[in-house]
Structure 1
Amino acid sequence: MGPLRFGMNPDEVSAVLADMTAEAQQFVITHCRDGRQVREVGRCWKSGLFLFYSRDERLQGLAVDGLRGPQVLAEGVPLTGRVPSEVERWMTARAAERFPEDDFEFGYLGTGIPCSWSLGLVVSVQRMADHLVTRPVIFAEHVLDDPRHTLPQEAWTIY
């Protein structure tokens, strides 16, 4: 994820982002039962980044807006703002070549969204006029057990 690393706290992420954009994170605050206020979602609207933090305020995932976000590369392949079927073909071929015996490397979330567990990547989509483009969601290894419930609903919203 470039200079961002899973496990960073929101202030560390903000410091890294300050080197890339003048836009500050806007936070969604969650009020915990124990009285704590936790920054669980950071948004950089103009930059097209949505950052997802755990309850202990550690970066555990991010989504990139397919229209405004930075280009995300995986093994040199661009993932942001692409035709979904092209990225899905690459992910399928990669899984067959690199993990031929692993039935869990490549799969789909309930709505037919392709996932690569070794990359910690879900390639969601969003609308661009009458077309769909890719919107990568990247997450830490511990999220693999249940990404749809570990990351907030905002990570999976298709718009």
Structure 2
Amino acid sequence: MGWWERKTEDRPRWILEPLVGVGPLRFGTDSDEVKAALGGPLAGNGQVSADGMWWQDYRETGLTCIYDRGMILVGVVVGAVEGPRVRVGEVELIGRVPSEVRAEIHEFARSEGAAVRVNWSGDPEVAAWGVSMGTGRERGLSAGGWLEQKDTVVTSALLVGPELAHDPYATAPVLHWCDVRERGRNPGAWPVAPDHERPRWEWVPLERVGPLRFGMSPAEVAATLDGEVPAGRIGHFPFYWWGEDGQWHLNEDRFEKTGVSAHYWMHPDGVPRLGAVTSYGRTGPQVLHVGIPLVGVAPSALNAAVMQHVEDHDLGLRFCLSGAAVWDGLQLALGATRVGDTSVSEATFYTADWEM
């Protein structure tokens, strides 16, 4: 049985022993002991850095194990839709409605005298337990029998040992797995701009999105957006997993006021050039295609509208990595962004040679 066929009630039930371990896994053990505890050998993807830190993703078990130097286990990520059901005290942490879990965590923490703070994603974090909560899109089988993403999100968790508990996402082993320093920090609220308050941008495939023309330099993009300074920049070194070697390349500028991200590719002249634009689901400009709004709507409703239009006009259809349906032949990718316990659509428009 694949992980996508497992019902929530069929997942293994694990107990979290704060700062000690979760289920059969114990922080401080080595990778061979982890494999033995999980019934290895286990197939999965992984990556090692120059300083000996490593993460290993085991999709079938819904876990990612994070190792420090010497392949010592320091963290476990439990997946929202495929990971074991983890309980701390009377609180079940995984695969549930985020607002319900948040309320239960606060109540249990008060009874235990533990402090609860908000992590980078706007979710609860309890240092005394080594728990930092997160979410993932809920998935399941459609009526037609294929795997589909739902509008709702459910809880996941990063669980760590005592060395990382003070601020898990600021520690080197966790940053190697998921570097959030360049992402926007969420204060724990997910406001959504009403559709009538969003600017309307025209999309001309292969040419421009609103005022942003493909091929612009970062300076030209900022000037076009009335001189807005990027709230964050994301880039990489040529061999980022091996250290900060070579020339740093700009990948993305995040413009929070406008509600878009500008994605760049490195031109042979050495200047980053605009290759894609993402309109944020919660705050970005509205873009319509054949009268269908692409931004800020329920992903399931957008999916249904796209598929109906394709059927009515006998068009080609393809699916994005997010699971969203799009018209074949268009340089368009549809995704979703979280809004508390659910999600809304966002759209990325790109050039012909852009690789999504």
Q: TM-score, normalised by structure 2?
A: 0.39
1:25 Cα deviation from its structure 2 partner = 4.8
In the TM superposition, residue 96 of structure 1 has moved relative to its aligned partner by: 1.9
Query: What's 2:120 paired with?
Result: 110
- Report Cα offsets for 1:123-155 as digits up to 9, x if no partner: 111112211100011001110233112113545
Residue 42 of structure 1 pairs with residue 56 of structure 2: yes
Distance 1:117 1:9, change over 3 A: same
Please give the secondary structure, in 2, of the residue aligned with 1:142: coil
Aligned partner of 1:152 in structure 2 is 175
Conserved in 1, the CA contact under 8 Å of 2:132 and 2:168?
no
Separation (CA, whole Å) in 1 of partners of 2:60 and 2:82? 7
Paired-residue identity, %: 28
Instruction: Give yes or no for contact 1:23–1:47 (8 Å, CA) kept in 2.
Output: no
What amino acid is aligned across from residue 58 of structure 1 in structure 2?
I
In structure 2, give the amino acid aligned to 1:121. Answer: V
Q: Greater Rg, structure 1 or structure 2?
A: 2
Q: Which amino acid aligns with 1:62?
A: V
Tell which has more relative contact order, 1 or 2 (C-alpha 8 A, sep 6+): 1
Matched, 1:73 2:87: yes
Does the 8 A contact of 2:56 with 2:64 survive in 1?
yes
**C-alpha displacement of 1:66:** 0.7
Partner of residue 23, structure 1? 42
Q: Are residue 84 (structure 1) and residue 103 (structure 2) matched?
A: no
Deviations 1:31-52 (A, max 9, x none): 23xxxxx351011111110000
- Are 1:134 and 2:155 matched, yes or no? yes
- Cα-to-partner distance string for 1:80-117 (whole Å, 9 max, x where unaligned): 10000111001111122221xx6xx2111133110112
Q: Secondary structure at the match of 1:80?
A: coil
Structure 2: runs of 5 or more not aligned = 1-21, 139-149, 181-336, 339-356
CA distances 1:7-56 after superposition (whole Å, capped 9, x unpaired) = 011111011111xx663454312223xxxxx3510111111100001123
Provide the residue aligned with 1:125 in structure 2: 135
SS in 2 for 1:51: strand
Counterpart of 1:35?
none
Single out whichever of 55-64 and 131-140 deviates more from structure 2: 55-64
Paired residue secondary structure (2:49): strand
SS at match of 1:130: strand
Tell me, yes or no, if the aligned pair for 1:41 and 1:52 is still in contact at 8 Å.
yes
Once the two structures are overlaid, the 10-residue window that deviates more, 44-53 or 23-32, is 23-32
Q: Name the TM-score, length of structure 1 as normaliser.
A: 0.82
Aligned residue type for 2:37: V
Q: 2 CA distance for matches of 1:89 and 1:156? A: 27
Q: Give the match's secondary structure for 1:46.
A: helix
| 1:63 maps onto 2:82 in alignment | no
